[in-house]
Amino acid sequence: MSAFDRDAERQRMLSRRTLVLGGLKGAAVSALVARLYYLQIVESDRYTTLAEDNRISLRLIAPPRGQILDRFGVPLAVNEQNFSVVLVSERAGDVQQILDEVGRLVPLTEADERRIQRDIQRSRVFTPITLKENLTWDQVSAVEVNLPDLPGVSIDVGQVRSYPFGEALAHVLGYVGAPNEKDVQGVSDPLLSLPGFRIGKGGVERQFDQALRGTAGNRQLEVNAVGRVIRELSRENGQPGRQTVLTLDAKLQHYMHQRLSAEESGAAVVIDVNTGGVQGLCSTPSFDPNQFAMGIGYDAYQALLNDERTPLINKAIAGQYPPGSTFKMMTALAALESGIVNAEHRVFCSGHMELGSHRFHCWRRGGHGTMDMVGALMHSCDVYFYDLAQRIGMDRIADMARRFGLGSRVGLELPGERPGLIPDPQWKRTTLKKPWHPGETLIASMGQGYVLSTPLQLAVMTARLASGRAVQPHLAKSIEGEFQEQTEWPLIGVKPENLATVLKGMNGVSNVPGGTGYKSRITVPGMELAGKSGSAQVRRISMAERSSGVRKNEDLPWRERDHALFVAYAPVHAPKYACAVFVEHGGSGGATAAPIARDILLECQMLDAARHSVAQQPQAAAPAGSMGQGTPSTTVPVSGNE
């Protein structure tokens, strides 16, 4: 091949290679252009959003919790400023030295320091760490004055739930606390993940938690690549929780707590006979809900748990006790409604009744003599009601009791309500797999044996007796202006003349000499009460003890003393308030519970009269009265039987 041909061949090879390389480069450039087009044009919106998300952090703002007010607008649960001292560790330099300096101004326990060190290790260096919450104003001032010498330290202002009435309303309102694992399980509410967010843990706070929470706000923060906040871009505040107004009367509640606290343990409930609104609901001993809202210590909590008088239990709705002789109105009504006996039915009480080989005793050892129904209620004659129970049977008694709200939850808007128990032969066969014995009917007729009720149920029973209607108790009066309270109730379904007989007996208890509650009557004209005393045994009295003499309650250990009960309504001529008082191991109902019920019902009416007077004459001073301060002047020392 000539030199010319060889040059031509090399030229062709170079041309082909150049074309191939050029084509490959062109393809690569085309692919790059296509990719750039796809990223910058087609996917522009997506990547712009991703870039903004990396630059902007959206954070929730916890809303203020809704206030809880009484029926007259008195604040029961409010939000107060909560001052905290916080530390940003990257600005502090020597963290331990700063903690030592802060500790001289604000006491930091060993537990606080362990928590702080743990939080510092878990958090980023630019994240604020809470050193101490709930600072006093003096502590805030001390820290603020020394801030130039405390790099990285600052004061943060938040909110804490406060309960102005403390122990008096603890069982009704409950308290707030940080959500636990059970609270957040299966719940998508983002508020629950906010540090320091509190939810209702008991009482009204828990029952109406969703309404009280409100809705979260948000703020947009500009952050850098590692999440450090550069500046706030925008803020949208959330919707505060809804204001909740209760049917309670704060002054009455405060008085009830003071009056009942004189006893070791007990409960009291006051219901508006016409509306069913609960105006007072008290359980003692109690606890301070502010301790829980701020974080109660381990030792203080253990002391509450181990107290034999159970201060953490709301006895008014969760305490189940034998109602004793306060149950006798149910037996009387059941007998009258059956048609087997009438109000003139008479029984001779010798002090006991024989049934088979058993003897059933009356509380009065020598007996009451011949009694009619009104007299039997007035004197609380056990033998009379044994006779009625033997004639009508347990099924009729149980049916009447359930009609008046006993034996099932009444549905008050509080968590933890217990149902009590109204037994009957079918219940015993089903539950205990045993037959019902005739003697159990006699025992149940006077509110003993298997019969259990709560103080709330007894108050409902009394309200239904006084009104003749199926009154339903409730706590919510309105939520954010939306009216909740019902005021009309259907008739209870008993003959008026039979109801009148029972009410006449209750009137005799309190207003006729010899009645078991006569010494605890209200003597103010127009404010008189009608009631029924009760004493419930918690131990069995042997025949040997009866022969030698039954030991008095004051001679027994506290745990072995009878429970004391009293139910009442007032005023007699136009019932407005129904009340039930229970004193755990208080002994005689007439001696212990009746004076408390008397004072509470008098306080109800005095407060009502004072407010009515002020409403009629706005410029005049309110008339003198108890107004929730001490025991009314009509208090009379008593010593009763039932």
Question: Which residues have a catalytic role annotated?
Answer: 325
Q: How is residue 506 annotated by DSSP?
A: H
* Token pair in block for residue 213: 């929470």
Q: Which residue has the tokens 């209607």?
A: 469
Peptide bond into 75 cis (omega under 30): no
First-to-last C-alpha distance (Å) of the chain: 140
Angle, to 10 degrees, between the axis of helix 455-467 and the axis of helix 496-511?
120
Peptide bond into 285 cis (omega under 30): yes
Tally of CA atoms within 13 A in the half-sphere of 167 that contains its CB: 14
* Token pair in block for residue 435: 């037959």
Q: Residue 595 in 3-state DSSP?
A: helix
What is the secondary structure of 150-212 as a DSSP string? STTEEEEEEEEEE-TTGGGGHHHH--EE---HHHHTT---GGGGSTT--EE-SHHHHHTHHHH
Task: Report the C-alpha gap between 140 and 84 in whole angstroms.
Answer: 8
Task: Report the C-alpha gap between 592 and 582 in whole angstroms.
Answer: 9
* Token pair in block for residue 177: 């606390």
Contacts of 436 (CB under 8 A, 6+ apart): 394, 424, 425, 428, 429
* Token pair in block for residue 274: 């016409």
What is the secondary structure of 515-544 as a DSSP string? -TTGGG---STT---EEEEEEE-SSPPPHH
Task: Report the C-alpha gap between 454 and 466 in whole angstroms.
Answer: 19
Amino acid at 142: A
Report CA Rg, the chain.
36
Beta strand pairing call for 244-246 and 68-69: parallel
Amino acid at 44: S
